[in-house]
Structures are given as structure tokens and as C-alpha cells.
Chains A and B, each alone.
Chain A
Amino acid sequence: MFTLSSLGIVIFQVIIIVALAPLLSGMIKKIKAFFQIRKGPSIFQPYYDIAKLMRKDSVVSENVSWIFHAAPLISFAAILTAGLLIPIYISDMPLGFAGDLIAVVYLLALARFFTALASLDAGSSFGGMGGSREMFVASMVEPALMLSIFAIALNVGSTNLSFISQAVSSMGLAAVSPYHILAFVALFIIAIAETGRIPVDNPATHLELTMIHEAMILEYSGKQLAIVELTAMMKQLLVFSLLANIFFPWGIASEINAAGIALALVVFIIKIVILGAGMALVETSTAKWRLFRLPDLLSVSLMLSFLAIVSFIIVRGV
């Protein structure tokens, strides 16, 4: 059941997630800089940042408990576990039996829960503010996310990620239907919120009062900060690969051979770069929204998923 080659796939997947995550982050920054007619830092800058943080000592608040130290590791583990379930370069994930899309959502929730818990641990107001806003945004995201999952599952008949990407890629261009597009747009809006990008959160901000994610991790420094940052980048990569391989799985390898996997990796990188460019475009063309206008944005996403479900039913005439 569990062969050596599938072990190889799993280990390779973990390496890819960890290795590619900073690259994606760097590329989005670069594309954003291009849209804003700046030069921008090198696309390898996130690697340098993490390497540098790894060498630094950390300063820890005197008020914290073990939660503060454990949280980054738990989040890291939860995100990587979610990474085992998401097809990246091969559609048939050997560990796909362990969980479906809903399990992925809950693993991401676990990571978020501990990060938010750690934000309260130091007793700083900024941390609490960040944690509170993060959970607020999460509560708005979750229903929209679940409905878009249902819209996807309706089309394919499953929430198993390997199954979805195989089914969609075998459908070919016939898969591009109204409900497919509607669910994609809905999930794209959710991805903006999940990865903390501009209408929702500004990843580049350094003003404590406007931050969400940054405010939560304000107390972290040194190696712990490196892990936290890496976790955030990994999460971003996973959200992007969900978008890429649920909706446009074409090019993904369906069996294990070197050429197929190499091609799939190249295609995957192109796909996430395109998605990243879309994200950068959104970030450049919109301003950050007021926190209490975000329910409007996410109810648009919710309604799009709902429309996807309804239009599926209408078109299929059930």
C-alpha cells in the first residue's frame, strides 16, 4: 500500500513546499514592484531574510508562557501536514486518504488558532488587536470558503483533492463552465483574505494600528520569527496551489516518471506566478479596506459560491 516511491513523493513534496514558498513570496513582491514602477528587491530576498533571522538571537517577552514558544512549531507542523494533502506536482497524492479539502481547511484553522493564541501571550495590546482581527477575518472567510468548497465538490462529486484535480484535468476544456469560473473567483477572493493581502490586510505595513498578521507576530524575533515567516509563506504557497490545481490542474503529472514530474513542476511554477501576478495586480489597484467593510467583500465571495451552486443546478436542470 505504501511503497518507497510514494515515500519519495511525500518527501519531495515537503521539500518543494519549504523551498518554493519564499520564492513565491519574492516573486509576488517583484511583480508588485513592477506594477508600481519600482525596481523592488530581488526575488530571492525572502531566502536571505530567513537565513539572516535564523542566525539571530531572539528576544522574548517576560510575560510569555510555553504557548508562545510552542505556537510557531505547531503552526508549522499543521501547515506542512496540510501540504501533504494538496496535489502540487502529482495529482495522485499517496497520503490523500488522510484528509480532504475540509481537513485542509481545519488544519489551516489549527495553525491560525495557535498563532492567534500566541499573540495574546505577551500581554501586549497590539498582539490582542491582531489576534482579534485575524479571528474576525477568519470567521468571515470560513463560510465563504466552505460554500466554495461545496460548489467545487458539486461539480466533481468529491472533496478529495486528488480526485478533484484528476477529474477536472480529465474533463479538459469542458470543465470551464459558469460554476467553475464563479467558484474560482469566489475562492480567489478568499485567497486574498487567507494570505493577508491588500483589501484585507497589508503585508508590507509597519503601522501597528493597521496590521493584522504582523500585529499578531509582533513579539517574535530571531529564529522563532524565521519559522513564523516561513509558515506564512508556506501557507500562501498552499493556498495558491489549491487555486491552481483545483481549477486548472492541466499539466499536473498523473504518474511517477521523471519527465512528467519535471514538466509538472515547471507548469506549476508558471501557474502560481500567473496567480501571483493577479494578486499583485489586485494589491496595486485597490486600497486597503476598512476592517468593517470586509464583511461586504466576503459576502460577495459567499454569494458567488452560492451562485455557482445555483447555476450548476439550473444548468444541469436537476
Chain B
Amino acid sequence: MSVISYFLVVYEHEKPETRKAGFIYIVMTHIGTGFILLSFLILAGGSGGFGFEGFRASGPTMLPLFKDLAFLFALIGFGAKAGIVPLHIWLPYAHPAAPSNVSALMSGVMIKTAIYMFIRVFFDFLGAGVLWWGFLVLAAGALSAILGILYALVEPDIKRMLAFSSIENIGIILLGLGASMIFYANGSPALSAIAAIAALYHLFNHSVFKGLLFMGAGSIIFSTHTQNLEKLGGLIKKMPLMAILFLIGVLSISALPPFSGFVSEWLTFQSLLLSFSSGDSLVRIVLPASAAVLALTGALAAFCFLKAFGIGFLALSRSEHAEHAKDANRPMLLGMGIFAVLSILLGILPVYVIPFLDRITGTFTGTSIGQSISSGFPGTITMPAGQISMSAPSLFVFMLVFLSIPLMVQLMKGKKHGAVYETWGCGQPVSTARNEYTGTAFSKPVQIWFKNLYRPARELRAAYSVSPLIKQSFKFESRIGQVFENYLYIPVTGYILSKSRMIKFIQTGSIHAYLAYIFGTLVILFMFVIMGGK
């Protein structure tokens, strides 16, 4: 899987940054594969076989220590493939380098495969009986969600932004999964099933709206030849249909009702809220705290995608590229249209989706909950306690009704909008793209708020012409520090490299020496077999 997608990432291999992205990608996924192998080896050690049935049988009989190790290795291994923080660094490189359709595929399917394996390993093989596993998954989810969206927010490159946002969404899915594991370990499979449904619902939604957004980004890049948000602007007039489809994606990912993200985030919140029926006081403190993290993530996601749409599509074009953009062609629009319709349907008809997901979660939590939570009158989802319910179609209909009243009034009056004039700029003529608020400025408050995380670097350069009072040009540069690369990866790789250099002397370059090594190894292996005496 990793190798094939490596070739997809390096599809445009003539660019050096693409090759770098491919390299980082393959290294990270290989590290992941290494850990997965370790985990499977431990599982196989318990059962003596490499089949999934064997793993399943070995789960209950293993020693707790080995179980924990298998869990940790699987978390790291599949976590690297899913892109959870801090193993995420390949995602923001791989996505912008890969063609947009590949990004859509990778984000939609590949990351999800890792989540599938999480569920397989944790629930199916290992039995998910340990409380702290759930807490660890929850913590990984919270960290990925918040850091993913924080990096997405300050990212001017559309595709990198979407990649960071994938990290965020994986985090949200893991929050649901973690809650599910916690409930399962606490012996309440019904709650566990609800949380698992929330996680799977979000997973499903994410593949739809992220696919839509990646395709949208692809057609923007195709039409404007730039990935830089700061160079777009005004696309809503140049690509009107694309803009509507992209807006649907944006509204879904921002979890606004009545679009798809809302349903799954609502379900995730509710499953965190269900902690109140749990007897463990730590669960009752930690789950609300992670709900606060989820709320922050949700709000920042709305901020981030508001910026993407507002800066990219509204107001005036900020560059020549955007000026000459054309709407995407029919097949592109059709592809996006299907995803957009799916996104809306997932948002307003969750009752038809939940029983379907329930069949999946039923297999590993052992409880079927779908009938009881999604059988209410007009498409209502009902929680098991406290009369909590939410009816997405009703909300949709109410909004349409309230929307139609003023619209009707307007239609009856039949009057067009008032006079058209330039934008207000305190009396100055400011109707040029240079005076628009930039994306960087738009997300600046958050950058200042989390300056300890971002470690921003800025540079101001002014060139003077005649006197120091008259500036000829002014250059402003601002960069975001790559905290994980600078403080985690570079020290670790540096350490490994320096250690590797120490044993480099065995690499002599002589073929005889290498043969001697092989011979030596063989002899040691023989000795091992003899000493083992079996």
C-alpha cells in the first residue's frame, strides 16, 4: 500500500520538492510498517500464526505486558500511516506534492485504512479491555486535532492546509474511538457503540468532504496555476458553480448544520457527554476536558475554512492568475457535485446511515444500538439518556422556512438591491485588491495567541530611495517555526546519524569483507541453533 502510494506521491517527480516529499513519506510509512510488524510479531508470538483468526485467539491469552506492547506498537505504526501527531510530518509534504486527485484518494481512503486497523487490533485482537489505552488514544486524538487545525489555520498553501486539516479530522475520529475504548473497558458496550458510531460517521464524512475540497483545490490550481491562497481572490465571480460546491465542502468541514460534519461532531460531543453515566470519576473529568479541546478544534476549523473561502473566493482577485480563472469543466464539476450532494445527504439523513454503521460497530462492541438511537420521528437521533435528541432534517426545514419568509417579502416588493458604490474605506479610494485583508492577517490573532507553539519568525526590510523618510519598497516576511521537525525529528535523526557514523567502519567497500560478515552471521546462527538444543 505504502509503496504504491509512494509512486502516486512522486507522480510529478521532476520537481525536487516532490522527491523530498516522496522521501519523507516513504521513510515515515516505513517506520510505521516497522512498528506494525513488531506489533504483529508479538501477536503472532502469542498464537503461533500470522492469520487474523490466530491473532484474535491469542488476544485473551497474552500476558498484559505483551498486550500493552502490541497496543503501543500498533498505535505508533498505524498512527504514522494515519498521520497522528507527532508522526504526521509526512502529510503536509505528501499532499501538496501529489496531484489533487491522488490527495483526495489518499485522504479519503488510505488514512482510513489505518483507522480500520486500529479498530481491528484494539478491539478485535486485543479485546480493548485496558482503560489507559482508551485514554492514550483520546490524548493522541486531542493532540492531533488541535495541532492539526492550528497548523492548517496559518498555512497559505491550500493543499498543505487541507493536509493539516486531515490530521485534525483524524484527531476527531480518534477522540470518538478513544471514548469508545474507554467505555468498552469500563464495561458499558452500549455507550461504546455510540462513540464508535460517532467515530465511523466522522470517518465517512471526512472522506466525502475532504475529497470534495481536494478536488476543489485541484480545479483551483488547474485554473489559476497557483496553490497560494494569498494570490487568489474573487473566484466566486469567475467560477460560480465551483464556488458553491466548495462552499458546501467548507460548511461541512466546519461542522455547521445542516451539513454532514455537524452530525458527526454532534455525535462525538454526545458520546463524550455520555461519560456522565460512567461511574469512574477520572473518566468524568477527562472526557469533558477533551470535549473542550474538540470545541476549540471545531471553532478553529470554522475559522480556517472561513479564511480559505473568504480569502480565496470573495472580494477582488489578488493576482493575474486569479483574474483569468475559468470555471471548472463539466466532469470536474460533476465529480464534485456528487460529493457535495453526498455531503448534504449525510448531513440531513443520518438516520439512514447510522443503522448501516451500527452493523459495523456491532461486530466489535458486541452491541447493536442503531435501532434505538435512530428510530425517532422525522429523522431524529435520540441518545439513551436525558431525552437528548437532534433532528437534522427538521432543523433544515425550519431554516428553509425562516429563509423563505424574508425572501418572499423581497420578491413581492420586486425591488432590486440599492445603489452600487465603492467599498467604504474611511473616505479614501481603496477599492483595489492591495487593500484587502490578507489570509495571513486574517489568521494572525491565533498566531499571536499560540505564539509559543508557532514560534513565528518575521523579517522587515525597507529600501529607501532618496531620504530615510521616503520608503521605496517594503518587504515583510513571516514564517512559522516547524516545532516538531526542529525539536523532535532533527535531534532524533541527528542522533541516529551520529551513531551510524560510529559503526560506519564496518562498511569497507570490499566484497570479501561483506561475504565474511554473512559467513560470520551464519556461524552465529548455527551456534544459536545448537545452543538452543531443540
Contacts and interface: CB of A to CB of B under 8 A. Distances in A.
A77 interface: yes
B390 A80 contact: no
A62 interface: yes
A170 interface: no
The residue among A61, A69, A124, A302 with the most chain B CB atoms within 10 A of its own CB is A124
**Which of under 10, 10 to 19, 20 to 34, or 35 or more describes the interface residues of B?**
35 or more
A139 B442 CA distance: 13
B385 interface: yes
A117 B406 contact: no
Contact of A57 (B284, B419, B441): B419
A282 interface: no
B443 interface: yes
A133 B421 contact: no
Contacts of B367: none
Given A132-B443, A292-B445, A100 B398 contact: no
B296 A106 contact: no
A159 B272 CA distance: 12
Contact of A120 (B298, B310, B421): B310
Contacts of A69: 417
A76 interface: yes
B174 interface: no
Tell me if B's interface is mostly helix, strand, loop or mixed: helix
A146 interface: yes
A138 B303 contact: yes
Contact of B441 (A110, A113, A132): A132
Contact of A306 (B273, B289, B449): B289
Interface string A188-212: 0000000000000000000010000
B386 A163 contact: yes
A77 B403 contact: yes
B402 A77 contact: yes
B266 A113 contact: no
Nearest to B443: A132
Interface string A144-176: 111100110110111110110000000000000
A276 interface: no
Nearest to A123: B315
A98 B314 contact: no
A310 B427 CA distance: 54
B441 A76 contact: no
A10 to B, nearest CB: 9
Interface string A306-318: 1001100100001
Nearest to B304: A135
B521 interface: no
B13 to A, nearest CB: 38
Interface string A118-142: 0111111111110111011011111
Contact of B388 (A95, A127, A159, A295): A159
Q: Which of B299, B380, B400 has the most CB of A within 10 A?
A: B299
A20 interface: no
B386 A159 contact: yes
Interface stretch (B110-118, B430-438, B459-467): B430-438
Interface stretch (A26-34, A39-47, A217-225, A245-253): A217-225
Given A77-B399, A106-B266, A123-B315, A138 B423 contact: no
Contacts of B303: 135-136, 138-139
Interface stretch (B175-183, B219-227, B250-258, B356-364): B250-258
A55 B380 CA distance: 42
B285 interface: yes
A285 interface: no
A160 B389 contact: yes
B276 interface: yes
B430 A113 contact: no
A65 interface: yes
A62 B438 CA distance: 19
Contacts of B402: 76-77, 80-81
Contact of B269 (A84, A98, A102, A110): A102
Contacts of A117: 306, 309-310, 314
Given A62-B431, A67-B236, A142-B296, A97 B391 contact: yes
B237 A73 contact: no
B430 A124 contact: yes
Contacts of A100: 388-390
A295 B302 CA distance: 18
B437 A128 contact: yes
A5 to B, nearest CB: 18
A74 interface: yes
Interface string B239-252: 00000000000010
B306 A139 contact: no
Contact of B424 (A116, A218, A310): A218
B322 to A, nearest CB: 13
Main SS at interface, chain A: helix
Contacts, number: 271
B425 interface: yes
A106 B392 CA distance: 12
A110 B403 CA distance: 13
B388 A160 contact: yes
A125 B431 CA distance: 10
Contact of B420 (A62, A116, A227): A62
Given A103-B395, A160-B389, A123 B284 contact: no
Given A100-B389, A106-B255, A123-B316, A84 B442 contact: no
Interface string B377-407: 1001000011111110011001111110011
B294 interface: yes
B285 A309 contact: yes
A106 B435 contact: no
B488 to A, nearest CB: 26
Interface string A250-285: 000000000000000000000000000000000000
B127 interface: no
A132 B433 contact: no
B388 A122 contact: no
Contacts of A77: 398-403
B107 interface: no
B332 interface: no
Given A125-B435, A132-B444, A146-B291, A59 B421 contact: yes
Contacts of A84: 398
A318 B448 contact: no
Contact of A62 (B284, B421, B426): B421
A297 interface: no
A217 B425 CA distance: 13
Contact of B419 (A59, A67, A98, A151): A59
B441 A81 contact: no
B389 A97 contact: yes
Nearest to B421: A59
16 contacts: A59-B420, A77-B401, A81-B398, A97-B377, A97-B380, A98-B390, A99-B257, A103-B257, A103-B390, A106-B256, A109-B302, A120-B315, A124-B425, A131-B442, A143-B296, A147-B289
- Listed from nearest, the 7 A-B pairs whose CB atoms lie closest are A128-B437, A158-B386, A123-B315, A146-B295, A120-B310, A58-B418, A77-B402
Given A106-B262, A107-B257, A120-B315, 15 more contacts: A76-B406, A81-B395, A97-B391, A98-B391, A113-B306, A120-B442, A123-B433, A123-B435, A136-B445, A141-B299, A147-B288, A150-B288, A157-B386, A292-B445, A306-B289
Interface of A: 1, 57-63, 65-67, 69, 73-74, 76-78, 80-81, 84, 95, 97-100, 102-103, 106-107, 109-110, 113, 116-117, 119-129, 131-133, 135-136, 138-147, 150-151, 153-154, 156-160, 162-163, 208, 218-219, 221-222, 227, 291-292, 295, 302, 306, 309-310, 313, 318
